[in-house]
Amino acid sequence: MRPKLLVIFLNHFAVANDLLSKRSRIYSDRPRSSTVMFGKLVGMTTLIMWCGSEDPVFPKFRRMFAEVFGKGNLDEHSSIVEDEREKFLDRLSSSPGDFYDHIEILSESIILRIAYGYQLSGKDDKFYDLYRKFSRVLTNEVVAQRWIVDYFPILQFLPRWLPGLRFHKFAEEQGRIRDDFNNMPYDFVKQEIKDHRAAPSFVSNWLLKSEQTEADDTVTRYVAAAMYLGGADTTAGFLKAFFYLMAMHPEVQAKAQAEIDAVVGVDHSPDITHWKDLPFLHALMKEVHRWQCIVPLGIPHRLTEDDEYEGIHISGGTTVIANIWAMCYDEDQYPEPSKFNPERFIPDPMTGKVQQDPNDYVFGFGRRICPGMHFANRTLFLMVSAILSSFTISKCLDDAGGEIEPKFECFGQITRHLRPFNVRIIRRK
C-alpha cells in the first residue's frame, strides 16, 4: 500500500506550473483544516484567500475582483493612483526620513479609495491603525502555531477559568479585530450612502446596483476586506524593498534614471503612456519581485482528487505548497541568484534569451493567481518611475562622511517585509 503524501512542496516553476496552473481544476482548493487558533477560535477562515474552490461563492468572488482589477478596467483607477502618487511625492520631499511611513500611507490610501471611497488622513486615521492591528494578527501572532491548543485541540473545550487557558481571551480579542476590519470600512460606506455623499467605490457601486440579499451583503463585505488587505500589504512590501535596493545599488538606480530622463524628460513624471518605452525599469521591477519575494510560500493549495505526476502518486486531500522563494533563487534559472541584477531580464543581444519572468509565479498560480496582479504592477510602475524621476536614494552618511549600511531585517509569517531602515533621499535637480 502506497503511503499518502499529506503535504508536498513544489520548488521549481515548471512543476508548479504543470500542477497548479495546467491542472488547476483539481489543484485550486484550500486546505480544509487550519490551526485551531487561526481557524476555529479567531475565525480567520472567513478570509477570501481561504475560500474553497468548490464553495458556490468562489466564482462570484473572482468575478467581483475581475470587475475592479481586470485588464480592461484599470483606467478607471488612474486618477486615484496619480492623485495619491503626487501626495506621496510631496510627503517624501517634505520629510524624506519618514519614507517608511509614507510608503504604508500610500499603499493603504490607494486601496481604501478604490474599495471604499475613503480618503486616509494619515497615521492618526482610525483605519490606518485598524490595518496595523489586523495585519499583525494575520502575519505574526496567529498563524505561527505557537499556541498549545493547536497541538492539543481538546483544550478548546475546557472551562475558560482554568489556569493556563489564556488562549481563549487572546482569540476573542483577535476575533474582534477581525470583525472590525471586515465591518468598519464597509459600514462607513453604507452610512455615506444613507447620507447621500458616498464617493464612487467598489462597495458603493455594488450597494447601489440593486437590493442586496444578506448573502450578497456578506460577499461584498468580504471581497472589499480582501482588496484592502492584499492591496495594502503587497504594495508596501515591494516599495520598502525597492528603497533598500536602490540605496545598495546606485549603478542600477543611475541607469534607470538615465532611461527615464531620455524617454520622458526632466520636466514631469512618467505616466502610463510610457509603459512600453522603459524596458530597463520593467527589468528592475522584475528583479525586485524576485530578490525580495513578498509571499515566500504563497497560500497553500489542496488537491481535490487523486493524481499522478512523473510517476508519483499524489493522494486527494494533499496540501500543495508552491515554494515561491525557492523558485526566485533557483540557480538553474538565475545564475548568481543572490545578486541583484536587473540585466537578467534584458534580452541577450546574441540569443535574445532572458531569464524566467518572476511575474509568472510570484502572484500565484492557476485559479488562485492574485486577481489584482495587473493593477499592482501598473501601480508600482507609476510609483517607481516617479520616485526615480524625482529623487536619488543612497546610503546615509556618518559624521566623517562615510557610508552607513542600511539594516536588512525582515519580519512576517505569510508576507515578508523589511523592518524600518534608514536611507538618504535627495531631490534631483
* Residue among 307, 257, 256, 404 nearest 26 (CA): 307
The angle, 0 to 180 degrees and rounded to 10, between the axes of the packed helices 78-94 and 99-116 is: 160
DSSP assignment of 135-166 equals: HHIIIIISTT--SHHHH-GGGGGS-TTSTT-T
User: What are φ and ψ of residue 8, in 5° steps?
Assistant: -130, 145
Question: What is the helix, strand, coil percentage profile of the chain, to 5?
Answer: 55, 10, 35
370 is in an annotated binding site: yes
Say if residues 245 and 408 touch (Cβ distance below 8 Å).
no
Which amino acid appears at position 406 of this protein? P
Longest dimension (CA), the chain: 73
- Rounded to 5°, the CA angle 326-331-335 comes to 135
Which amino acid appears at position 227 of this protein? M
CA atoms lying within 13 Å on the CB side of residue 302: 14
**Nearest-angstrom CA–CA distance, 425 and 429:** 13
C-beta atoms surrounding 210 within 10 Å: 8
Query: Which residues, 6+ apart, have CB-to-CB distance to 261 below 8 Å?
Result: 389
**Nearest-angstrom CA–CA distance, 390 and 387:** 5
* Residue among 251, 252, 247 nearest 283 (CA): 252
Residue ranges for the known binding site for heme are 370
Residue ranges for the known binding site are 370
